[in-house]
Amino acid sequence: MQGRHGGMAKAVWWRVLSLALALWTAPVWAEENGFLDAAGDAPRLLAAIEKERPAFTPPAGVTGISVPHHLLADDLIARGFWAASAMHPRRVLLISPDHFRKVKGAFATTREDLRTVFGIVPADDAGVDALLSHPELFEALPGIDHEHGVMALAPFVAHFFPDAQIVPVLASINADASDWSAAVAALKPLIDADTLVVQSTDYSHYLPQGEAVLRDQETLTMLAAGDADGVLPLMQPSHMDSKSAQFIQLRLQHDVFGAVPVVLANRNSAEYGPSENSSTSYVVTAWVKDPAAGAVFDYPDQHRVMFAGDTLAGRYLLPALRDKAAWAAITGAVSATTANTPLIVNLEGVVLDEPVAGLGIGEHLMLMEDTAPLLAAFRVRGTSLANNHANDLGDVGREESVRLLKSIGIAPIEHGAVTDFGGFRIVGINFVRGRLTGDRLASPDDLDWVCGLHAAPPLVAFVHWGTEYTDAPSDAERGVAEKLAGCGVSLVVGAHAHRASPVITPMAGGRGMMLYSLGNFLFDQSESRGSGELLELRVFRQGTIAARLVPLPNLFELGKKALEAAP
- Using the predicted structure, report yes or no on whether residue 36 has a pLDDT greater than 80: yes
The pLDDT confidence band at residue 567, using thresholds 50, 70 and 90, is: confident
Q: How confident is the model at residue 5 (pLDDT cuts 50, 70, 90)?
A: very low
Q: How far is CA 195 from the centre of its chain?
A: 21
- Provide the 8-state DSSP code for 469: T
Write the pLDDT tens digit of every residue in 527-546: 999 999 999 999 999 999 99
Q: Give me the phi and psi of 378, to 5 degrees please.
A: -95, 10
Position 33 scores a pLDDT of: 61
Give the DSSP letter string of 493-521.
Answer: EEESSSSB-S--EEEGGGTEEEES-BBEE
Spell out the alpha helix ranges (H) of 133-205. 148-151, 154-160, 177-187
List the alpha helices (DSSP H) in 408-457.
448-451
DSSP-derived 3-state class of residue 403:
helix
Of the candidates 57, 9, 532, 138, the residue with the CA atom closest to the CA atom of residue 339 = 57
Tell me, rounded to whole angstroms, the distance of Cα 359 from its chain centroid. 43
Amino acid at 310: D
Between 183 and 355, the higher pLDDT residue: 183
Cβ-Cβ contacts under 8 Å for 538 (sequence gap 6 or more): 263, 302, 303, 304, 545, 546, 547
Q: Sorting pLDDT into bands at 50, 70 and 90, what band is 14? A: very low
Q: Is the pLDDT reported for residue 165 higher than 90?
A: yes
| Distant-in-sequence, close-in-space partners of 18: CB < 8 Å, separation ≥ 6 | 119, 120
Q: Are strands 62-67 and 195-200 parallel, antiparallel or unpaired?
A: parallel
| pLDDT at 359 (0 to 100) | 81
Q: Tell me the C-alpha distance between 245 and 93, whole Å.
A: 11
Q: Is residue 254 a contact partner of residue 226, using CB atoms and an 8 Å limit?
A: yes
Which band of pLDDT confidence, cut at 50, 70 and 90, is reported for residue 3? very low
412, 405 contact by CB (below 8 A): yes
SS3 248: helix
Q: Is pLDDT above 80 for 221?
A: yes
Q: What is the DSSP string of 319-356?
A: HHHTSHHHHHHHHHHHHHHHTT--EEEEE-SEEESS--
Cis amide prior to 458 (ω within 30 degrees):
yes
What value does the mean pLDDT take over residues 351-380? Answer: 92
Q: What is the mean pLDDT of the chain?
A: 93
Helix (H) or strand (E) holding 127: helix 125-132
Task: Kindly state the DSSP code that residue 306 receives in the 8-state scheme.
Answer: E
DSSP annotation of 234 reads S
Model pLDDT, residue 8? 36
The answer to whether the CB of 262 falls within 8 A of the CB of 287 is yes
Measure the CA–CA gap between 176 and 164, rounded to whole angstroms.
30
* pLDDT surpasses 50 at 97: yes
Residue 32 has pLDDT above 60, yes or no: no
**pLDDT category of residue 75 using cuts at 50, 70 and 90:** very high
Q: Is the pLDDT of residue 12 over 80?
A: no
CB-facing half-sphere around the CA of 367: CA atoms within 13 A: 11
Q: Is 552 helix (H, G, I), strand (E, B) or coil?
A: strand
Cα separations (Å) of 126 from 92, 170, 190?
A: 13, 17, 9
Per-residue pLDDT, 10: 35
Q: What integer pLDDT is reported at residue 13 of this predicted model? A: 41
Range in 80-84, 264-268, 283-287, 314-318 the model is least confident about: 314-318
Q: Please enumerate in sequence order all residues whose Cβ is within 8 A of that of 358, keeping only pairs 6 or more positions apart, or say none.
A: none
| pLDDT at site 35 | 84
- Residue 492, classed as helix, strand or coil, is strand
Question: Tell me, what's the pLDDT at 258?
Answer: 97
pLDDT of the residue at 29: 37
- Looking at 203-354, which runs of residues are DSSP E strands? 205-207, 260-268, 279-288, 302-311, 343-347, 350-352
Q: How many CA atoms lie within 13 A of 472 on its CB side?
A: 3
Q: How confident is the model at residue 566 (pLDDT cuts 50, 70, 90)?
A: confident
| pLDDT tens per residue, range 512-531 | 999 999 999 999 999 999 99
- Model's pTM, two decimal places? 0.92
> Which tens digit of pLDDT belongs to each residue from 468-510?
999 999 999 999 999 999 999 999 999 999 999 999 999 999 9
Please check the confidence at residue 15 and state whether its pLDDT lies above 70.
no
d(CA 241, CA 98): 9
Q: Is the pLDDT of residue 326 over 70?
A: yes
Q: Are 412 and 385 in contact (CB under 8 A)?
A: yes
Q: Which residues pair with 141 in a beta bridge?
A: 110
Q: At what angle do helices 555-565 and 324-338 cross, to 10 degrees?
A: 140
* Percentage, residues of the chain above pLDDT 70: 94
User: Rounded to an integer, what distance in angstroms lies between the CA atom of residue 102 and that of residue 150?
Assistant: 13
Distances (CA, A) of 248 to 79, 176, 177, 283: 22, 12, 10, 16
